[in-house]
Amino acid sequence: MTALALVISAIAAVACVLWVAGPFLREPTVAGAADLFDDLDPAASQALVLAEERDRALGALKELEFDHRTGKISDNDYREQVGPLRREAADALRQIEAAQP
């Protein structure tokens, strides 16, 4: 039983090694930039921040509209808040456009 167990364990260990080494066995000669995974450069990171701000402002506008419709927000409160939120969304959109080449 011990010998059989050792053989099973050895086969399983070798299978694991082959599985883990798979990316190198499949592409043995890749080097340099081809072996680097995608990452965001500073310009893309900045664009991501702006996109987040845009989505957040648009989401807040949508939420405000719905809260107003359900009666949670009065007409006065709605009028007070909708302007700044629209400006935030417009600012984010403008900055995204300005950042585009």
Partner 1 sequence: MSEVGRAALLVCLALALYATVAGAFAARERRRRLAVSAQRALYAAFASAVVASIVLFSALLRHDFSFVYVADHTSSKLPWYFCLSAFWGGQEGSLLLWLLVLTGFAAAAVFLQRRAQDLIAWVVPVLGICGVFFAFVLVAVTSPFATQVRPAEGFGLNPSLQNPYMIAHPPALYLGYVGLAIPFAFAMGALLSGRTDERWIIVTRRWTLIAWAFLGIGQLLGSHWAYEEIGWGGYFAWDPVENAALMPWLAATAFLHSVMVQEKKGMLKVWNMLLVALAFNLSIFGTFLTRSGVLNSVHTFTEGPLGPWFLGFLCFSVVGSLALILWRLPLLRSKTKLESLISREATFLYNNLLLVALCLTILWGVAFPMLSELVRGTTVTVGQPYYNFFLRSFGLPLLLLMGIGPLIAWRRASLKSLGRTFVIPAITAVVAGIALLIAGAGSSTPGMIAYTFSAFVLASIVLEFWRGTRARRTLSNVGWLRALGELVSRNRRRYGGYVVHAAIVLLAAGIAGSSAYGKETEGKLKPGQSLSAGGYTVTYRSLTREPKGNHVELRALVDVYRGGKQVGVMAPGKNEYFAEQQVSNEMAIRTDFLRAEDLNLILDQPNEDGSIFLKMVVKPLVNLIWLSGLIFVLGSVITLWPDAREQRRLVARYQSARAHGRA
94 lies in the site for partner 1, by CB under 8 A: no
Name which of 59, 58, 53 is nearest 92 in CA terms: 53
What does each C-alpha distance from 54 to 25, 47, 79, 98 come to in angstroms?
44, 10, 20, 14
Identity at 95, one-letter amino acid code:
Q
Q: Binding residues for partner 1, how many (CB under 8 A)?
A: 56
* Interface contacts to partner 1, rule CB under 8 A: 1-2, 5-6, 8-9, 12-13, 16, 19-24, 27, 30, 34-41, 43-49, 51-53, 55-56, 59-60, 63-64, 66-67, 69-74, 76-77, 81, 96, 99-101
